[in-house]
Structure 1
């Protein structure tokens, strides 16, 4: 036990982490386009109803990623689908077809590469970097797939 009664295994947060964890969830975005939706900064009830301190880091990252993916998809045309690019290495691009989390600290993306090969990215929240990209939709499909809208719908259930 440490002085002050703390256990050695108690998590020590940096000042920035403590501040971020104590803050009320907020979203603020400004874009150059005049047609930015008025609700761009509003958080869905499904995200606001559970306090941040009751969410695991994985769940909190998952919920915020859903909002970013949905907003990104809203700006795509009918010939594009959302994908994510990887930094470093030769992993390439993953067309996002699913997403999930595993408490307390893992987020995972499911999808395929541009050649159609199945892919899954398993990412620890402390290493999370996601670059959203627009790829031409898969040629077999008449309509582009929109995972962001399905993910938001799942939040509400």
Structure 2
């Protein structure tokens, strides 16, 4: 328990600010917490967000950070635990208040896929898949989602 005495303003501010902490064995590893929070994420206190919005925003930060470590021959995908559904190349992401997060994409053969997940069951495994050969540049959905949060349109 924290025995530090805080003013009412400090307590409200601390409750409204998201906290993040990560440690890696590689001292040069970049953390999701190394980037400033996008405007659309930082402007609204956590207490005013639905569980779906809050899960969506934090997942976007991790998704973008994962993509930053990929080369131009790979794109982000997610794997599924406990099922034979395979992997989903992430092409979009959204949420439906108060408690649903969804991922849009395709499997490696190009068939459309969508995962609709309750926030209490959210568990995402990011994977790097080779990008489609016919595309010049890899799709970086994490950067697009982050940019949307930055513009405060979420």
TM-score between the two structures when normalised by the length of structure 2: 0.82
Deviation for aligned residue 1:37: 4.2
Corresponding position: 1:113 with 2:139: no
- 2:60 corresponding residue in structure 1: 66
Ranked by relative contact order (alpha carbons within 8 Å, sequence separation 6 or more), the top structure is 2
Matched residues in 2 for 1:127 and 1:23: separation?
Answer: 24
Decide which of 28, 48, 51 is 1:35's aligned counterpart: 28
**1:118-129 equivalent positions in 2, closer than 5 A:** 118-129=112-123
Matched residues in 2 for 1:79 and 1:145: separation?
Answer: 10
* Conserved 8 A contact 2:89-2:105: yes
* Conserved 8 A contact 2:77-2:87: yes
Larger Rg: 1
Question: Secondary structure of 2:72's partner?
Answer: coil
Deviation for aligned residue 1:47: 1.6
**1:17-96 equivalent positions in 2, closer than 5 A:** 22=15, 24-37=17-30, 40=34, 42-96=36-90
Is there any run of 5+ residues in structure 1 with no aligned partner, and where? 1-21
Is there any run of 5+ residues in structure 2 with no aligned partner, and where? 1-14
Q: Count residues with an aligned counterpart.
A: 136
Matched residues in 1 for 2:42 and 2:35: separation?
Answer: 13
* Conserved 8 A contact 1:28-1:41: no
Deviation for aligned residue 1:30: 2.6
Moved over 4 A (4+): none
Which piece of structure 1 moves more, 38-47 or 114-123?
A: 38-47
